[in-house]
Structure 1
Amino acid sequence: MSQSAYGIDLAKHSFSIHGENHQGNRLIHKTIMHSKVLEPFASIHPIITGMET
């Protein structure tokens, strides 16, 4: 299993999510509303996630 890393940038009304695999290939890059933040993570394996506050 390859490792992935995701970053979440917190904003006032939304979150920006960016994810890369172990080779640096982009897996996801999108902006979502706060109420939808768990949806992108519900169907993936455990990962490293960092938050910018």
Structure 2
Amino acid sequence: MKLEKAVMKIANQIERGNPNLIKKEPEDKIMKGLKVVKEILFVFNMKKNKYN
């Protein structure tokens, strides 16, 4: 669950446009990162639904 919270935190920062993340990463890397985060969350939700 700690991983899920960390992923959510990063996803929220990317969506809000965290200046620290944007300074370090070019735009396309941020978009790729956001895509990966959404895929991870999708898998988490699938697993959660399977076990509930």
TM-score (norm: length of structure 1): 0.26
Going by fraction, where is strand more abundant, 1 or 2?
Answer: 1
Going by fraction, where is helix more abundant, 1 or 2?
Answer: 2
Structure whose CA Rg is larger: 2
